[in-house]
Amino acid sequence: MTEQVRLTVNGVPRDVEVEPRRLLVQTLREDLGLTGTHVGCDTSQCGACTVHLDGRAVKSCTVLAIQADGHVVTTIEGMAPDGGLHAIQAAFWAKHGLQCGFCTPGMIMSAADLLESNPDPTDDEIRHAIEGNICRCTGYHNIVAAIREAASTLRAGTDVPAAANA
């Protein structure tokens, strides 16, 4: 038994047919081919699957695709749709905020939720805001530095043109 679901993903309406038990992360990855959103656990702990649902960071492994029917989803692929980089992406690159890269998309999506509501976070606030995202590679040191830098870039209102990241 499947149901028709309409999502707006990265600004584009997408119709998919899913079993009710299909998780949002499965639909994004398997039905829509958006494999930047990852699955790192089966208990909603690791945060690798973090996407934005109606503008808020959620764990897409703990949302049914059918629950997202009629809602707006942004994934890592939609962070900088023009082919450039979002300031947070640029800062993760500049500050070496990633190693294996597996947690990175989720980490960036959580950082984006934070900086939306708190443009000038302290280190403690940054660390608290990414508690739902586990990184096993970086010890978080450079992730915190990256988010700090991204916050500063965003506050300055500087766009990050694609060419600047080459």
Partner 1 sequence: MTTDVLGSPVKRVEDPRFITGKGRYLDDIQMTGMTYMAILRSPYANANIRSIDTSAAKAMPGVILVLTGADVPYNPLPMAWPAGGSSGVQNNINMPRALATDDVKWTGEGVAAVIAETPEQAADAVEVVHVDWEPLPAVVDTEGATQPGAPQLHENAPNNVVFVWTVGDKAGTDAAVDAAEVVVRQRIVNQRLIPNPMEVRGDIGLYNPGTDEYTVWMSSQTPHIQRLLLTAFVTGIPEHKVRCISPDVGGAFGTKIFCYADMALVMLASKLIGGRPVKWVETRRENYQSTTHGRDHVTYLEIAGKRDGEVTGLRVKTYANLGGRLSTIGPGVPTTLYARVLAGCYKIPNVYCEVTGVYTNTTFVDAYRGAGRPEATYVIERAMDLFAAEIGMDRAAVRRKNFIAPDAFPYDNPSGLGTAVNGEKIYIDSGNYEPALNKALMTVGYDDLDKAKAEARTRGKHLGLGLSTYIEVCGVAPSKWIGAVGEGWGAAMWESANLKVHLTGKVILTMGTQPQGQGHETTYSQIIASELGLAMDDIIVQHSDTLGTPFGYGSYGSRTSSVGSTAAIKAAGKVREKARRYAAHMLEASVDDIEVVGAEYRVKGSPEKKKTLQEIAFALDLGFSLPEGMEPYLDETAYHDTPNCTWPFGTHIAVVEVDEDTGKVDLVRYVAVDDVGNKINPMIVDGQLHGGIAQGVGQALWEEAIYGDDGQLLSGSMLDYALPRASWMPNLELDETVTPSPVNPIGVKGVGEAGTIASTAAVANAVIDALKPFGVRHLDMPFTAPKVWRAMQSQEVRS
Partner 2 sequence: MIPAAFEYDRPTTVAEAVDILARNPGTAKVLAGGQSLLGLMRLRLARPERLVDIGGLAELRGIRALPDGGLAIGALVTYREVLDSALATSRVPLLAMAIADIGDVQVRNRGTVAGSIAHADPASDMPAVVLALEASLVVRSGSGERVVNATSFFEGAFVTDLAEDELLTEIRIPAQPTGVGMAYRHLEQPASGYSIVGAAAVVGRTGGSITTARIGVTGVADAAYRASAVEAALIGTDGGAAAIAAAAAHAAEGVAVGSDIHADAIYRAEMARVHVRRAIEAALGAAG
Q: What is the DSSP letter of 126?
A: H
**Residues 140, 82: contact at Cβ < 8 Å?**
no
Q: Which of 59, 69, 81 is nearest to 132 (CA)?
A: 59
Footprint (CB under 8 A) of partner 1, residues 71-100: 75-77, 79-80, 85, 89, 92-94, 96, 98-100
In this chain, which of 27, 36, 53, 153 binds partner 1, going by CB under 8 A?
36
CB under 8 A: which stretch of 29-37, 64-72, 113-121, 151-159 binds partner 1?
29-37
Phi, psi of 125 (to 5 degrees): -65, -35
CB within 8 Å of 9: residues ≥ 6 apart:
28, 32, 34, 73, 74, 75, 78
Residue 37 token pair: 């959103």
Report the interface residues with partner 2, using CB under 8 A.
1, 3, 19-21, 23, 26, 39, 42-45, 47, 50, 53, 56-59, 61-64, 66-67, 110, 113-114, 117, 129, 131-133
- Give the interface with partner 1 as residue ranges (CB under 8 A): 19, 21-22, 26, 29-30, 33-43, 45-46, 48, 75-77, 79-80, 85, 89, 92-94, 96, 98-105, 108, 123-124, 126-128, 130-131, 133-144, 165
